[in-house]
Structure 1
């Protein structure tokens, strides 16, 4: 029992098992009942009445809910619901896509015939999970250490599933060596995490600009560009190049006057980008 936390073990159980484990006394749901409720909602493709006007097509094993919706049904505080969902996500039992005032929950379920396979098709799901972990770091809800631990945990879980499937196939072939495919998948998963971290780092730094004044660029769009969207798109492209490469030669703009003007728009430009990012959080 002392070493029970050291090994990753996958347990397959029918949804009926969780129905059996539910406690019938009282209105407040237990953690087991809350988890079963999430399974039930995801299997049914449940959409909360509060978000039915939002055009979102759900995939299998997904439900679209609000924190308040779950809190009311489970008789929990909203903060308790968020903490519970954080814990389930850290265990790899669900994934969240956070929207404005709602969340799409994808339950991690298996048919009993397959585990999480390290295939090209499923890599975006792993990237989405890592992105969700890092989103908490971007907004300051997780420390770098905590986010790193969660990323490492997600990698270990994915590798354990890949290795388990590979070992099963190897046993059938009379071999017990780690295949080149497992090594390749491990390299790709690590690369995916690095890519997500780099993207999250940019988002976190950009987030600092959300309270800066962007009115100067708005006035430039109206007065100097005459409200021409195409012209502003070209200007935005030049500004983005200037942000990422301050030594850019400024192709397509006058090197003297226009480049200095663009430099003066750097802070308003980052402010607009940061505010757009906040809207999608």
Structure 2
């Protein structure tokens, strides 16, 4: 069986592992060197010469060795090799498949292409940055020009980061492929920005109503609706439609008198919305 080609890999190890691998005087080969040797052998799919006639197919990040071979190569006693392997296995740094006169060692390595980033989390983080930038415009601390410029800078910075990351993840991709990915990313980011701006505009306009009197709506809830929350929920839906669409759908308020009553509650409704927004 031939050795496998080496592949780039990231080692999964914690502080406890490296504490154990500290060099001790008196050993011909240090524990760190022995550990690295196991990594090299596993990445290469190493098989001891004595075992190459055996029919055993290795999976990635495995090597097929004997304790005697390792002891000879590391200049350790065989009992020391066994103890070393026992400890690494207990620390989760290797797994062993014990055969009659040999052992297959599997190292926990991440090989090949790096893990893809979480695009959903990236978009959420990007949206948060845009929303934080727009907040100064919502409360009147920044102009539309200044905020627009800042949002454009955030888009440019994010696209630069994405392009750099993609070039590392797909080093062999043609430039045309990378460019297409960048275009798709730019379209999505600009869509997120437009969504955030639309929401910010609504919040800015709504904020003007925060000092209006909302008590008529409270009285309507107590007197007209008898304090029934379910009825108030339906009335609030009608009021929301009145605010957004310019008219209620008429499900509960069909008469002219009821419609006028609903329209009289428009500003108190906006007042409650604005106050809820300020408190959120």
> Which category of TM-score, normalised to the shorter sequence, fits these structures?
0.5 to 0.7
**1-structure distance, mates of 2:266, 2:125:** 35
Query: Shift of the alpha carbon at 1:143?
Result: 1.1
| Structure 2 residue aligned with 1:154 | 154
| Structure 2 residue aligned with 1:219 | 219
| Structure 1 residue aligned with 2:172 | 173
Query: Shift of the alpha carbon at 1:158?
Result: 0.5
Q: Higher Cα Rg: structure 1 or 2? A: 2
Unmatched 5+ residue regions in structure 2? 1-113
**After superposition, what is the alpha-carbon deviation per residue over 1:208-233, rounded to whole angstroms, capped at 9, x for unaligned?**
00111111111111111111111111
Any conservation in 2 of the 1:127–1:192 contact (CA below 8 Å)?
A: yes
What TM-score results when the alignment is normalised by the length of structure 1?
A: 0.55
1:230-241 equivalences under 5 Å are 230-241=230-241
**2-structure distance, mates of 1:250, 1:144:** 38
Q: Which runs of 4+ in 1 moved over 3 A?
A: none
**After superposition, what is the alpha-carbon deviation per residue over 1:50-92, rounded to whole angstroms, capped at 9, x for unaligned?**
xxxxxxxxxxxxxxxxxxxxxxxxxxxxxxxxxxxxxxxxxxx
**1-structure distance, mates of 2:224, 2:159:** 55
Is 1:274 matched up with 2:274?
yes
Unmatched 5+ residue regions in structure 1? 1-113
Any conservation in 1 of the 2:239–2:266 contact (CA below 8 Å)?
A: yes
1:43-122 equivalences under 5 Å are 119-122=119-122
Any conservation in 1 of the 2:137–2:143 contact (CA below 8 Å)?
A: yes
Any conservation in 1 of the 2:214–2:272 contact (CA below 8 Å)?
A: yes
**2-structure distance, mates of 1:149, 1:191:** 16
Query: Shift of the alpha carbon at 1:253?
Result: 2.0
